[in-house]
Amino acid sequence: MSLPASALPIDAAPAFLGVTNSATGRVWRDRLDARGTASALAIAQRYQLPEMLARIVAGRGIAIDAVDDFLDPTIRKLMPDPSTVTQMEAAAKRIADAAEGGEMVAIFGDYDVDGATSAALLAWHLRHCGLDPLIHIPDRIFEGYGPNIEAINGLAGKGAKLLVTVDCGTTSIEPLAEAKRLGLDVVVIDHHQCGDELPTVEALVNPNRPDDLSGLGHLAAVGLVFVTLVAVNRELRARNFWTDERPEPDMLGVLHHVALGTVADVASLTGLNRAFVAKGLIAMRRRDHVGHTALMDVARLSGPPEAWHLGFALGPRINAGGRIGRADLGVRLLLEGDISEAARIAAELDRLNTERRVIEQRAEAQAEAEALASLGFDDSGAVVVTASEGWHPGVVGLVASRLKEKFGRPAFAIALEPGGVGTGSGRSIPGVDLGKVVRAAVTEGILLKGGGHAMAAGVTLKKERLAEFRAFVEAALKNAVTEARHVSELFIDGAVSARALTPEFAGMLNRAGPFGAGNPEPVIALPAHELLYADVVGESHLRLRFKSGDGAIVNGIAFRSVGRPLGNALVENRGQQLHVAGSVAVDRWQGSQRVQLRVADVAVPSAGPGIIR
């Protein structure tokens, strides 16, 4: 049975269930304040929604008149006029010219999932127009990020007249100037943050450029490619390009690509992105796309794909090609029409992903040891900066992400090459803009190259500048990190007992999905439940079982918790009562469905009225 916030005992401290210092050092907060609670009640009454679902909707700041669009986001309602994006009309006209003229088009994409899905989506459309585009995905190690002069020369030598860069190109001043010198027209479709200088091209479609007022800066590159192709379709329609023999392509039929790239790039699942992912997941569940179906099969999905599958099961396999294998494998899979060939490529990506995990774990262990040594006993550093020779450049972003999770602050991992140049990645925490400080380090001459978003950035530097870079980011981010880490909070959407956790309850929560960046999974609390069982599964996870006061039992899992504060607290409190917080998932196995709680935090209940049995 759901327990509304108003039914919970009131503690003097404004903490949910009175938890002011959990196992992970967090204060638990009710996601809804008094105004939010009133909004949830109004939403529940107007739309006849379950109270818990109404609380979740209100907790995401959804206005009462926007609830229908939130629960059922549609492309039709949320798609803007593409021409609101700066230089979109010029881009659409130039791509339409290429389609009409039968020109050779070259696509240059990034080597991550967003780049692969962007390139595949654009190539699919151009093929529908009767073209056979060239596709180049750069090798992460030998070419690095973004367009390079050698690759552009190669594409020009193969007869390309138009170069379209996707998920890259905004900062590629010299390579794109070389493209112009070779006679190529260039269209850039990118979403990365911009510097003061922009390349001279036919069109630079980037909603994060300073003169863009479209409000679409939250789109991943693949979403921006989709919007661009809507504009191209409109332009070609006006030119009477589409005929009975060559009908206008069904853009809604390729939302698989947009959903995968959006989730894997950790784009905010708000506005149009919500519609992209919600409808893309429906398309993936139909299993009518050869490449996506092969990918789902090799990832051994046991049920219909959900948003988290895209980020944690499918995306990493596409990424594995760009990290430690052939960079174009992901694009090839997404464009493959032959079932057996798609299965072969998917199997190779799965093998590479397994190999990638081994490489990553080795580097992660070394990086954690270095980070512990550099932070010292007083744990005073604002930023973790680790570097080593022998690390594979393809896994440093993953290592940085693990360091960020473990130490709760921005982190960099840098692979040092024998020639004395290091390439690395950084990951940040909410409230700390990493991309900004990296661009500042480039301006200061500390970095050879660098850029990215607030939450993620890439860097290239000489080994001898490493200490200077470490000191620079420490000084630049110290205040922001201190502020961001001052009070660590876990926001709780509501409390229930184990008996309430049924597949139907999980389905009700999922009505507020898809969940991800910008729309976090609901966090549900189980007050004062006995921890019956806690044992290690896999390399670092804990399998759990909790019992409520009325005897109901629910299974749980705490991912990557062994040896960390959460795992230690669970192991030490076997047989004891704990307040438990986590997200609800359905575990499907051999046709059966069981609810599982993915545990995010626990706390020992304080004595007295704060305990609910």
pLDDT tens digits for 117-126?
999 999 999 9
For position 374, what pLDDT does the model report? 79
- How many Cβ atoms from other residues are within 10 Å of residue 349's Cβ? 28
Lookup: tokens for 320: 């594995």
For position 140, what pLDDT does the model report? 85
pLDDT above 60 (res 240): yes
Domain spans, the chain? 5-31+493-603, 77-349, 376-485
Instruction: Classify domain 5-31+493-603 at the CATH superfamily level.
Output: Nucleic acid-binding proteins (2.40.50.140)
pLDDT above 60 (res 343): yes
- Among the residue ranges 283-297, 308-322, 577-591, the one predicted with the least confidence is 577-591
Question: Can you give the pTM of this predicted structure?
Answer: 0.89
pLDDT above 70 (res 399): yes
8 A C-beta contact, residue 166 and residue 108? yes
- How many Cβ atoms from other residues are within 10 Å of residue 97's Cβ? 16
Question: Is the preceding peptide bond at 304 cis, omega within 30 degrees of 0?
Answer: no
Burial of 483 (0-12, 13-18, 19+ CB in 10 A): exposed
For position 591, what pLDDT does the model report? 67
For position 607, what pLDDT does the model report? 54
pLDDT above 60 (res 192): yes
Confidence of residue 452 (pLDDT cuts 50, 70, 90): confident
Of residues 197 and 496, more confidently modeled: 496
Half-sphere exposure of 463 (CA within 13 A, CB side): 10
As beta bridge partners, residue 423 has 415, 460
For position 421, what pLDDT does the model report? 93
For position 376, what pLDDT does the model report? 66
Class of the CATH-defined domain 376-485: alpha beta
CA distance 294 to 342: 6
Percentage of the chain beyond pLDDT 70 is: 95
pLDDT above 70 (res 13): no
> Rounded mean pLDDT of 348-374?
92
> Rounded mean pLDDT of 445-454?
88
For position 590, what pLDDT does the model report? 65
pLDDT above 60 (res 608): no
Confidence of residue 453 (pLDDT cuts 50, 70, 90): confident
Burial of 413 (0-12, 13-18, 19+ CB in 10 A): buried
Lookup: tokens for 447: 């970095």
Mean pLDDT score of the chain, rounded to an integer? 92
Question: DSSP states of 229-240 as a string?
Answer: HHHHHHHHHHTT
Specify the 3-state DSSP secondary structure of 260.
Answer: helix
- Among the residue ranges 168-172, 435-439, 555-559, 607-611, the one predicted with the least confidence is 607-611
| CATH classification code of 77-349 | 3.90.1640.30
Percentage of the chain beyond pLDDT 90 is: 82
Amino acid identity for residue 55 in this structure = R
Nearest Cα residue to 82 out of 276, 189, 231: 231
Confidence of residue 3 (pLDDT cuts 50, 70, 90): very low
Confidence of residue 324 (pLDDT cuts 50, 70, 90): confident
- Give 1's DSSP letter: -
Of residues 549 and 1, more confidently modeled: 549
User: What does residue 203 show for φ and ψ, rounded to 5 degrees?
Assistant: -155, 135
Confidence of residue 455 (pLDDT cuts 50, 70, 90): confident
> Rounded mean pLDDT of 316-323?
92
Provide Rg for the chain, Cα atoms: 25
For position 4, what pLDDT does the model report? 43
For position 160, what pLDDT does the model report? 98
For position 239, what pLDDT does the model report? 97
Confidence of residue 6 (pLDDT cuts 50, 70, 90): very low
Confidence of residue 609 (pLDDT cuts 50, 70, 90): very low
For position 144, what pLDDT does the model report? 83
For position 530, what pLDDT does the model report? 97
Confidence of residue 377 (pLDDT cuts 50, 70, 90): low
